[in-house]
Each structure stands twice: as C-alpha cells, then as structure tokens.
Amino acid sequence: MSNTLTGKVSGRMSSRGWAIALGIGAIVLAAVLLVVYLDRYRARVGGENAPTPVLVAKQLIPAGTPGTLIASGPMYAPTTLPRKEVEVGAISDPQYLSGRAASAEIFPGQQFTAVDFATSDTASVDSQITGTQRAISVSIDNVHGSLSQLQAGDSIDLYIGLGGGQGQGLYKLFRPNVKVLAVPSVPGPVGGGNLIFRIETKDAATFAFMADNTKMYFVIRPVVGAKQTANTTATAASVLR
C-alpha cells in the first residue's frame, strides 16, 4: 500500500511538472512570437517612413513645356518624403526629363511622376525660352566661326570686332556662354539662313546693334566643365606687343 501511495504521488508530481513545463514553454513561445512581430512591425513602419528622393514642382508648369527647360530652370526642387507619401512612378532624377515634355499642367507642390511627361521631339524655339529670356535671329553672314561644327543646344562665346582698317580695329569678348537655339540646315552662302541665340530681353537691342554694325565671331564651349571665359581685348598693339 505504501508503494501504491508513493506511485500515485509521484505520478501526480510528474503530471504537475509536465504542466508547468508546458506552461513555461507556451510563455517562451509567446514571447518569441511577440519579439518577431514587433521586429517586423518596426521594419515595416521604418520602411514606410524611410526618406525617399523625389522632384516637386516649384511653380505652375504648362502642358507641353520641354523637360530640358524644366530641368535647367528654377521650375522644380529636389526633396525627400516618407516612402508611404511618394506617388507611384515618382521621378527623382532630372535626367529623366530629357527628351520629354509635360503631358498636362503640373501644379506647385506636385510630385513629378512618369505619367506627367511624354516623349517629345519638339525643337520649337519658343518652347526653349521662359520668363525674361528671348530668342534673337542673327544672319550667318554677320557671324564667323566653325559653322559646320555648330549644333542647336551648343553654348558659345561671342566676340565682336570694332573699328576700321590699318590696324585700328579692336576685338573683344561681347557675351560669354550664349545658348544656340537653332542653326540653318544648310549653312553658308548657298543655304543662307540665321543663327538663333537665347538672350535676356535687356540685351535684345544691344545684340541687334552689334549684329548690324560689327563683325561677330563665336567659339564653341565645352559641353561640360567649361571654365569662366576671360574678358580679353585684342588690338594691333596688344597682338604685336
């Protein structure tokens, strides 16, 4: 009987031990699952709030505005937003705008997205100027330089020649970094035509006077990495000195 009682007590203690062990195991498992859930939640929330670059309009951009003009002017600002606030197809690289144009009006504060821009081959002069910028046409008969190498979109330095013959002339830098908007398709005496420059409206009268009353020369600037042009003047005396 003593052995029977001892067995019953041992069995009860063994069952209670198993119950306690199972309870502890359940608590540990619940704690592990809670830690995993919290880690995933923090990762998801952190991902949604991760700063993401995007381009945002600073002003109203009319439909049809060339992307290159938008990218080169003060029409947009790069910024960062939480990932959850970034629209689908948002644009973060201004290089994406090259060769495209606004397909609809873009309002101030609006994010740039791929659907806002359509592929465009527009090369019209008025689409390449804005604000106080103007386009002026100068006969190629009045401009000298490497016309065969000049292309629309190039930047040039313009020089002018003043004065008469017998070594009394003077040549100097007129305007640096002038953007060429268009070139004649067949340059030279046979094709004729004009070069079209982008200028500021305050310079229009000066350009017109110089085009008609001086010799104009241009030199082509590098596409990238151009340094500031020296404001030099040349005369017979300075050349011979």
* DSSP category for residue 32: H
The CATH code of the domain that includes 114 is: 3.90.1210.10
What residues in the chain have per-residue pLDDT under 70? Answer: 1-17, 41-48, 120-123, 164-168, 186-192
Q: In terms of DSSP bridges, do strands 215-220 and 194-200 run parallel, antiparallel, or are they unpaired?
A: unpaired
Q: φ, ψ for residue 38 (rounded to 5)?
A: -65, -40
What range does the domain containing 190 cover? 132-240
pLDDT score, position 6: 53
- Residue (of 233, 202, 217) closest to 157 by Cα position: 217
CA distances, 176 to each of 115, 161, 229, 234 (Å):
37, 15, 6, 16
pLDDT score, position 207: 94
pLDDT score, position 208: 93
Are both 69 and 115 inside the same structural domain?
A: yes
pLDDT score, position 43: 63
- Domain edge (last residue) among 72, 93, 119: 119
pLDDT score, position 10: 55
pLDDT score, position 166: 59
Number of domains in the chain: 2
pLDDT score, position 9: 47
pLDDT score, position 55: 93
